[in-house]
Structure formats: structure tokens, C-alpha cells
Amino acid sequence: MIRVYFLPVEIIDHTEVVAGTEFIHDALLECTENPEIRKLIQDTTEDDHNSLVAVCHLWTDATPEEIDLYNATVTPEPPDPDADIARDILSTHPGTIEPPALTTLIRIYAKRLGIT
């Protein structure tokens, strides 16, 4: 669901850092009249939503205008089956990766590096 969050900004080493950055992805971030607040428009999962609610000043469901703006400016990355396979192999083999899975990983990374 596309929602709007108003997040606090902190200045660290002359850089603006928005609260909750670890939960922000494929989003639209705008300045507000208050220099200490940023407006985030994002299509969030329930987990990301709950995490952002914990750090934001205020949140609302997006208006039709905000949804149109989000859809016009945010282009999600296309699905990548190789990345999903690699992520699955790496997350389910914490110790040793067996040869068939290792071969698959090598093929995926060689393809990404253009060594096919």
C-alpha cells in the first residue's frame, strides 16, 4: 500500500540523514517547509510500515495525487530470477555450499560480470 511518512532529519558530518533509511526503497523523498522533516512516499510492506511508523512524526495513506506522483517517478527494478536464486542459496547454506549450488552461484556471478 502506498503511504506517506513524515520523517525527522538529522545532520551528521554535514550530511542529512533521514530516520528509517534502512526501510526506504523505491520511494519518493521530498523536502518540506520544515528543514528538519522529509516527506516520504513509498509502497510499503506491513513490516516496513510498522518500522517506519516507529520513527516517523506522522503518517497517512497517500492521496490519489500522491499515488500518481509516486507512480510517475518511481520505477521499481524488474524481477531478477538469478538474484532470487543466489539469495536463496546464500541464505540456506550458512556453512558450506555444496558443489551443485556452488556451480549455480558461479554461473550467476559470471553472467553478471560478462564472463559467460
Contacts of 109 (CB under 8 A, 6+ apart): 86
Report the predicted TM-score, pTM, of the whole model to 2 decimal places.
0.63
The helix/strand/coil state of 8 is strand
Q: Above 90 in pLDDT, residue 91? A: no
Q: Alpha helices, DSSP H only, in the chain? A: 46-55, 64-73, 81-92, 99-113
The closest alpha carbon to 16, from 1, 29, 2, belongs to 29
Q: Above 80 in pLDDT, residue 116? A: no
Q: Above 80 in pLDDT, residue 76? A: no
Amino acid 110 reads: A
Q: Above 90 in pLDDT, residue 63? A: yes
